[in-house]
Amino acid sequence: MTRVYLDWNATSPPHEDVIAAMRRAAEDAWGNPSSVHARGRAARALVEDVRERLAAIVGAHARDVVFTSGGTEANNLALRSATALVTSRLEHPSVVRAAEALAGPVEWLPVPPSGRIDADDVARALERLPAGATVALMAVNHETGVIQPVREVLARTRAAGARLHVDAVQALGKLDPAEWAQADSIALAAHKIRGPKGVGALVWRGSPALLTPLLQGGAQERGLRPGTVDPVAVAGFGAALERVDVGPARNLELGLLRDALETALAGRVQRNATEHRLGHVSNLSVPGRSGDELVAALDLAGVEISSGSACSAGTAEPSPVITAMHGIERARSALRVSLGETTTRSELDHAIAVLCRILTRESSST
Residues contacting residue 241 through CB under 8 Å, at least 6 positions apart? 50, 53, 54, 57, 193, 195
Which residues is 5 bridged to in the sheet?
304
Pairing status of strand 65-68 against strand 200-204: antiparallel
- As a whole number of Å, the end-to-end CA separation of the chain is 28
Active-site residue (options: 62, 264, 311, 352):
311
Decide if 311 is catalytic: yes
Catalytic residues: 311
